[in-house]
Amino acid sequence: MRGAKSAKWVAGAIVVALAATACGGNDDGGDKPKASGKPAGYVSIDVGEPQKALIPADTNESLGSYVIQSLFTQLLDFDADGNIVYTNAESIETKDSKTWTVKLKKGWKFHDGTPVTSQSYIDAWNWSANIDNKMQNAFWFEDIKGYEDVHPEGEGAKAKAKEMSGLKAVDDTTFTIELDKSVPYFEYKLGYATWAPLPKAFFDDPKAFGQKPIGNGPYSFEKWTHKKLIQVKANEDYTGPNKAKNKGVQFKNYATVEAAYQDVLSGNLDMIRQVGPKDLPKYKSDLGDGAVEQEYAAVQSIVPAFYTKQWKDVDPKVMQGLSMAIDRETITKTVLNNTRKPAKSFTPPQVKGNQDLDTEVFDYNPDEAKKLIKEGGGVPDNKIFIQYNTDGGHKEWVTAVCESIRNATGVECLGDAKPDFATDLEARDNDEVKSFYRGGWVADYPLNVNFMRELYGTTAEANNGRFSDKEVDELFKKGDNAKTLEESIKLYQEAEKVLVEKMPAIPLWTYQINGGHGKDVDNVKVDFHGDFEVTEVTVK
């Protein structure tokens, strides 16, 4: 029995040890005050853990952007109709769309009390554009003169200068931006969060700053409990037009949208950005007035890979035919539960310059579809694939689109599933798309330009279908060289009409948010790219 006894002891010891580590680990599991621990007057929203540290020029995903936008205010912002509203800027003027003079509002301060000056902007932009700092959004500064000195092209490139020659401070609240060439819509680009100013404290230790950012925005940073919560407090001294109407915001991370939805129902969470498919059929009756349904500026399309044998010399008529074989109306209503609206052009209705194209290419018409495909010489191999990522809820509509094409035209259509977004992107980058890929684009700024130039210009980097057409490039160039913004928008409208003839992609539908809020808050509005305007939310 001796062996058995000591075995008992050893086993017992291991169990005790494991249990001890377990207990040590959950000190914070006690019974602290619950009720979601939200200070009075604060509002909460389901915004999960940002992928990266909170630095404006390094954040391009929606979760981080939410937090960045609450902490920082750029020169300008947009209202719900896509019009410019000056926030930190007093005025932005230009005569030739090449040199822009920015006047800042006086008396603005960062949350640490230091003043917001011309230099705060210039230093921030110079630093962010610098290739050595490896900021994700560095390319946003590429229009500025001297960008290629701080961010040269090519492998292993190092910055040749620290400053872009195009940025010059005139005095504390005035500075000029000189561009490489005239960009009539440059002002619109300034609304992106990347253009935020940074305080001196940032340059001392960018890494620490990213964990505890100091901005000039409507809210100041309070705390970040990783993977759980980011809390920001309303900035009492803020003088911008978007001053917070609540006392603060909690950005709460939820494991799933379903869990977040349950918390809205039980009153633990005020706002949910998007209701999951499981709860979509009933969220309107659950939330009543709290249901938020609004379209925003984003388009989903299927994009042919023009480098494939199949589409190399395709007659655009085939694409038009395939487009007309898709019953957008029915698919958005049934499979997508009314969360999308059928597309009628290459641009969404929320951007300036969206137009009625007066074409039937986006309407469902099986007979016409068959005819057009036949006229265009048919689909090579009589079989197409649509590449998509299975981790984004795309399978259902891809299947439906394929079914629609197959039924209308007899062309075999199959989904080409990639396990996740990373794999999907890799296939696109390496030109390995078999036939079509799923493309989605959310507006960076509310102009039609953003939905064409960035996607279908020969040298545009997001042009993964490698569409290239001299006439289209020429028209884009003309739009870029226009004297005024209005003229530029008009020229791009002309370009869009040509796009219908060339079909660089088949637009499917525009996005809509289906979110909601609980009974404790009010005035929940949505901006042009589908984000809630948290500053406007009031507590009842």
Partner 1 sequence: MGRYVARRLLQMIPVFIGSTLLIFLMMFALPGDPVRALAGEQAVDQAQIAALKAELGLDRPILVQYVSYIGNVFQGDFGTQIASQRPISEVILDAYPVTIQLALFAFTFIVVAGILLGVIAGLKPNSIRDRGLLGLTLLLIAVPSFVTGYTAQFVFSFKMGLVPPNVGLEPSWNEMLMPAMVLASLSLAYVARLTRTSIAENLRADYMRTATAKGLPRRRIVGIHLMRNSLIPVVTFLGTDIGSLMGGAIVTEGIFNIKGVGGLIYEALGRREGATVVGVVTIIVIVYLLASLIVDLLYAVLDPRIRYA
- Least separation in angstroms between residue 31's CB and partner 1 is 5
Which CB atom, from 256 or from 407, has the smaller least distance to partner 1?
Answer: 256
CB of 473 to partner 1, least distance (A): 17
CB 213 within 8 A of CB 498: no
Measured distance CA(257)–CA(384) in Å, rounded? 33
Q: State the minimum distance, in angstroms, from the CB of residue 44 to partner 1.
A: 11
Minimum CB distance to partner 1, residue 32 (Å): 5
Q: Which of 25, 40, 95, 113 binds partner 1 (CB under 8 A)?
A: 25
> Is the Cβ of residue 36 or residue 101 nearer to partner 1 in the bound state?
36
Q: Name residues contacting partner 1, limited to 153-192 (CB under 8 A).
A: 153-157
* CA atoms of 170 and 177, how far apart (whole Å): 11
Residue placing its CB nearer to partner 1 in the complex, 263 or 496: 263
Cα 50 from Cα 252, distance rounded (Å): 11
User: Which CB, 31 or 367, lies closer to partner 1?
Assistant: 31
Q: Which stretch binds partner 1 (CB under 8 A): 149-157, 239-247, 287-295, 357-365?
A: 149-157
CB 446 within 8 A of CB 185: no
Beta carbon nearer to partner 1, 25 or 113:
25
Q: Do the strands 383-389 and 436-442 form a parallel or antiparallel pair, or are they unpaired? A: parallel
User: Based on CB atoms, which residue is closest to partner 1, 282 or 477?
Assistant: 282
Instruction: Pick between residue 316 and residue 515 the one whose CB is nearest to partner 1.
Output: 515
Q: What is the CA radius of gyration of the chain?
A: 26
Residue of 180, 151, 175 whose CA lies nearest to 163: 151
Instruction: Tell me: does residue 461 bind partner 1 (CB under 8 A).
Output: yes
Residues 392-421 that bind partner 1 (CB under 8 A): 420-421
Residue with Cβ nearer partner 1 (110 or 441): 441
Q: Which is nearer to partner 1, 282 or 483 (CB)?
A: 282
273 scored as a contact of partner 1 (CB under 8 A) = no
Q: Which of 95, 227, 470, 540 binds partner 1 (CB under 8 A)?
A: 227
> Site mask, partner 1, residues 417-456, x = CB under 8 A?
---xxxx-xxx-x---------xxx------------x--
d(CA 308, CA 384): 11
The whole-angstrom separation of Cα 283 and Cα 511 is 18
Number of Cβ within a 10 Å radius of residue 434: 17
Cα 162 to Cα 100, 132, 147, 477: the distances in Å are: 21, 10, 10, 30
> Quick check: 118 and 485 in contact, CB under 8 A?
no
Kindly state the smallest distance separating residue 4's Cβ from partner 1, in Å. 5
Q: Choose, by CB under 8 A, the member of 39, 41, 61, 288 that binds partner 1.
A: 61
CA dihedral 51, 55, 61, 62 (to 10 degrees): 100
443 close to 451: Cβ distance less than 8 angstroms:
yes
User: What residues between 102 and 131 interact with partner 1 by CB under 8 A?
Assistant: 131
Out of 119, 136, 294, 359, point to the residue binding partner 1 (CB under 8 A): 136
Report d(CA 459, CA 401) in Å as an integer. Answer: 30
Does the protein bind partner 1 through residue 391 (CB under 8 A)? Answer: yes
Interface pick for partner 1 out of 14, 20, 208, 498 (rule CB under 8 A) = 14
Nearer to partner 1, 377 or 393 (CB): 393
Nearest distance from C-beta of residue 392 to partner 1, angstroms: 10
What are the E-state strand segments in 434-531?
436-442, 506-517, 521-522
- In order of 35, 172, 216, the CA distances from 257 in angstroms are 20, 46, 31
The beta-strand segments (E) located in 183-234 are 219-225, 229-234
By CB under 8 A, tell whether 213 contacts partner 1: no
Q: Which of residues 291-350 bind partner 1 (CB under 8 A)?
A: none
366, exposed or middle or buried, with CB in 10 Å at 0-12, 13-18, 19+?
middle
Residue 3 or 113 having the CB closest to partner 1: 3
Residue from 200, 228, 282, 374 touching partner 1 (CB under 8 A): that is: 228
Please state the closest distance from residue 371 (CB atom) to partner 1, in A. Answer: 34
Identify any residues that bridge with 271 across adjacent strands, giving them in sequence order: 45, 517
Give the residue from 36, 27, 33, 15 showing the smallest Cα distance to 520.
36
CB nearer partner 1, residue 359 or residue 423:
423
- Residue 298's H or E segment, with its range, is strand 291-304
C-beta of 299 vs 400, nearer to partner 1: 299
> Quick check: 458 binds partner 1 (CB under 8 A)?
no
**192: number of Cβ within 10 Å:** 17
Residue ranges in 28-57 that form contacts with partner 1 under rule CB under 8 A: 28-32, 34, 36-37, 49-53
Instruction: Tell me which residues in 190-209 interact with partner 1 (CB under 8 A).
Output: 207
Whether the CB-CB separation of 528 and 296 falls below 8 Å is answered with: yes
Binding string, 246-265, against partner 1, x = CB under 8 A?
------xxxxx-xxx-xx-x
Q: How many residues belong to the chain?
A: 540
152 or 380: whose CB is closer to partner 1?
152
Tell me the window of 10-18, 183-191, 341-349, 472-480 that interacts with partner 1 (CB under 8 A): 10-18
Distance, CA of 231 to CA of 34 (rounded, Å): 16
Smallest distance from partner 1 to CB 8, Å: 5
Q: How many CA atoms lie within 13 A of 209 on its CB side?
A: 19
Q: Binders of partner 1: how many residues, by CB under 8 A?
A: 80
**For 486, which DSSP code?**
H
Helix (H) or strand (E) holding 295: strand 291-304
Place of tokens 């036949």: 374
